[in-house]
């Protein structure tokens, strides 16, 4: 048996596929249900993350986790922003804002450029040009 401490409540539990113990898992499913039902209602289209937290009692952190997992979609909710993983600016989709996405893409491009340059150098060395 693979015993480990539940990251939510600290209790020992048998590690299976789940990240948390059964009690916390069930609790989180209940919370998911509350958030899901809340965002499904059309009158809540203008709700914010804070509103949802107040109305459902589910911690903001947990709501963001559901969004990151793709279980709750807030595209089409103009006010339902949550912090970007890179810089904390408010975003509505995925984990990163446009700025951080562009930055990562640029970083990748630079890396690729360096790689190509190194390969060019290497091949010119071997061919003696
Ligand atoms: Zn637990
Ligand atoms: Zn960002």
Could you give the CA distance from residue 22 to residue 24 in angstroms, rounded to a whole number?
A: 6
What pLDDT is attached to residue 19? 84
Q: For the chain, what is the domain count?
A: 2
What pLDDT is attached to residue 128? 58
Is residue 14 situated within a structural domain?
no
User: How much distance in Å is there from the Cα of 120 to the middle of ligand 2?
Assistant: 34
User: What residues are paired with 12 via a beta bridge?
Assistant: 5
Same domain, residue pair 63 and 120 = no
Is residue 40 situated within a structural domain?
yes
Is residue 1 situated within a structural domain?
no
What pLDDT is attached to residue 64? 95
**Residue 103, pLDDT above cutoff 70:** yes
* DSSP one-letter string for 37-48: HHHHSGGGTT--
Q: What is the pLDDT of residues 114-127, one digit of tens each?
A: 999 999 988 887 66
Q: What is the pLDDT of residues 1-55, one digit of tens each?
A: 788 999 889 999 988 778 889 999 999 999 999 999 999 999 999 999 999 999 9
User: How much distance in Å is there from the Cα of 42 to the middle of ligand 2?
Assistant: 29
Same domain, residue pair 80 and 27 = yes
Could you give the CA distance from residue 72 to residue 123 in angstroms, rounded to a whole number?
A: 50
Same domain, residue pair 82 and 51 = yes
**Residue 129, pLDDT above cutoff 60:** no
Identify whether the C-beta of residue 36 lies closer than 8 Å to the C-beta of residue 63. no
What pLDDT is attached to residue 18? 84
* Range(s) of the domain holding residue 109: 97-129
What average pLDDT does the segment 97-103 reach?
Answer: 95
Is residue 2 situated within a structural domain?
no
User: How much distance in Å is there from the Cα of 71 to the middle of ligand 2?
Assistant: 21
Residue 87: CATH number of its domain: 1.10.10
Q: What is the average pLDDT score of the chain?
A: 92
**Residue 76, pLDDT above cutoff 90:** no
């Amino acid at each position: 048996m693979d015993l480990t401490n539940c990251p939510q409540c600290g209790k020992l539990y048998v590690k299976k596929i789940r990240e948390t113990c059964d009690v916390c898992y069930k609790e989180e499913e209940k919370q998911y249900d509350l958030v899901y039902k809340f965002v499904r209602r059309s009158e809540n289209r203008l709700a914010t993350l804070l509103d949802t937290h107040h109305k459902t009692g589910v911690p903001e952190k947990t709501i963001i986790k559901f969004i990151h997992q793709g279980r709750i979609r807030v595209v089409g909710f103009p006010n339902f922003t949550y912090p970007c993983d890179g810089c904390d600016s408010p975003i509505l989709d995925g984990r990163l804002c446009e700025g951080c996405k562009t930055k990562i893409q640029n970083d990748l491009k630079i890396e690729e450029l360096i790689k190509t340059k190194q390969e060019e150098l290497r091949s010119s060395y071997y061919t003696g040009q």
